[in-house]
Amino acid sequence: MRAQVAGYIGRFITYTGTGFQEGLSLSVHDEISRMRKYAFGCSELVFQPLYTWPWRGPFTKLFRSFLLARATPLATKISVTSYINIYIAIAAAWLLGIGSYFASRCDAAACAAVFLHGVCMPAPVQYSA
């Protein structure tokens, strides 16, 4: 991010020697550890520690400077922010999924109780002869 804020184009940023190694995942465990490493890295780039939010705010100075940099094109800002949000969505998916499951169960139980007691059922039609 610092290189892009300084005006460098991302595809020309390279590492020499063994500084950067993108490996091939040979097993599920390798893939999970790689995803965990990327998720932790993304969250450290974007978010301050939770206890500092009241006086520093949720976003790091680096991320704010990246979003406000004039040298970085808008498409790049959207692309990088979207990539980071993928890891945040993956991290939140299990919690939101469990919450959705219990919320749907509560709604189903509430609806069943309402319909069993006849509160929402239409009044019976009476025909006069």
Q: What is the pLDDT of residues 32-55, one digit of tens each?
A: 777 788 888 888 889 999 999 999
Q: Would residue 71 count as lying in a domain?
A: yes
Question: What does pLDDT average to over the chain?
Answer: 75
pLDDT of residue 41: 84
**Region 88-101 average pLDDT:** 84
Decide if pLDDT at 115 tops 60. Answer: no
Q: Would residue 23 count as lying in a domain?
A: no
**Region 80-107 average pLDDT:** 82
Residue, of 30 and 20, whose pLDDT is higher: 30
Any idea what DSSP says for residue 86? H
Q: Would residue 69 count as lying in a domain?
A: yes
Q: Would residue 95 count as lying in a domain?
A: yes
User: What's the pTM?
Assistant: 0.57
Q: Which domain holds residue 54?
A: 2-10+28-117
pLDDT of residue 58: 93
Q: Would residue 21 count as lying in a domain?
A: no
28-46 vs 74-117: helix crossing angle, rounded to 10: 100
Question: How many angstroms separate the Cα of 53 from the Cα of each of 6, 56, 58, 60?
Answer: 27, 5, 5, 10
Q: b vs e for 92-121, b when ≥16 Cβ sit within 10 Å of the residue's Cβ?
A: eeeeeeeeeeeeeeeeeeeeeeeeeeeeee
Decide if pLDDT at 29 tops 70. Answer: yes
Q: Would residue 15 count as lying in a domain?
A: no
Q: Would residue 43 count as lying in a domain?
A: yes
Q: Would residue 55 count as lying in a domain?
A: yes
Task: Report the number of distinct structural domains present in the chain.
Answer: 1
